[in-house]
Amino acid sequence: MIFPCEVTLKRFVPAVKARTARILSEKYGFSQMEIAGALGLTQAAVSKYLAGKYGADVKGAISLPSVIEAARVAADGIADRKPIDLVSSSTVCTCCRELRAGGMDEAPLRQGSIRLNADCDVK
């Protein structure tokens, strides 16, 4: 069984981390090791994100408005050393709608999925 939000999160979280890594590097001058520590990644993963080397799922999600905004909030919070709430349910729902509007493969969502949110229109 695959939950609707599970498909979105597998694309959303890596895309936000990739964009956040870039912001932390370019805007705030963080080193790759500092970014890795802040985002719970390895330095090698940060290096790949900064070089634009990531999978198709991330490439498909990295330009979504919800990803851009979540990364901005995350980077600003990390730089200011403030706690951040990266994955709120409304942010995930917004990202899901954007991914689906852009042609996200919905087949896994139809195969035994469960609606987790009364507002979710995944069929």
pLDDT per residue, tens digit, the chain (123 aa), is: 666 667 777 878 899 999 999 999 999 999 999 999 999 999 999 999 999 998 888 888 899 888 898 899 889 989 998 776 655 666 667 777 777 676 655 544 444 444 445 556 554
CA dihedral sign of residues 83, 18, 14, 101: positive
Residues 6, 92 contacting (CB under 8 angstroms): no
Domain spans of the chain, in order of start: 4-110
Q: What is the pLDDT of residue 12?
A: 82
> b/e map of 74-89 (b: 16 or more CB within 10 Å)?
bbbbbeeeeeeebeee
Q: What is the pLDDT of residue 116?
A: 44
pTM of the model: 0.75
Q: For residue range 2-30, what is the model confidence (pLDDT) as tens digits?
A: 666 677 778 788 999 999 999 999 999 99
